[in-house]
Amino acid sequence: MLILQSASPRRKELLHKITDDFKVESVPANECVIPSRPAATVMKNAREKALAIKPENGQTVVGADTVVYLAGRFFLKPKNAEEAFEMLKTLSGKWHSVYTGVCLATNGKVVCFYDKSKVKLKKMTDDEIKRYVETKNPLDKAGAYGIQDGVTVEKYTGSFDNVMGLPTEKLSAEIKKFLTDKED
Q: Give the active site residues.
A: 65
Cα–chain center distance at 155: 18
92: three-class secondary structure by DSSP: coil
Q: How far apart are CA 161 and CA 16, in angstroms?
A: 12
- Would you tell me how many other CB atoms lie within 10 Å of the CB of residue 126? 11
**Is beta strand 2-5 parallel, antiparallel or unpaired with respect to 22-25?**
parallel
Q: How far apart are CA 65 and CA 48, in angstroms?
A: 10
Sign of the alpha-carbon dihedral angle for 55, 101, 136, 74:
positive
Q: How far apart are CA 147 and CA 113, in angstroms?
A: 22
Q: Where are the beta strands (DSSP E) in 19-158?
A: 22-25, 60-70, 73-75, 95-106, 109-121, 153-157
User: Which among 96, 100, 74, 101 is positioned nearest to 152, based on CA atoms?
Assistant: 96
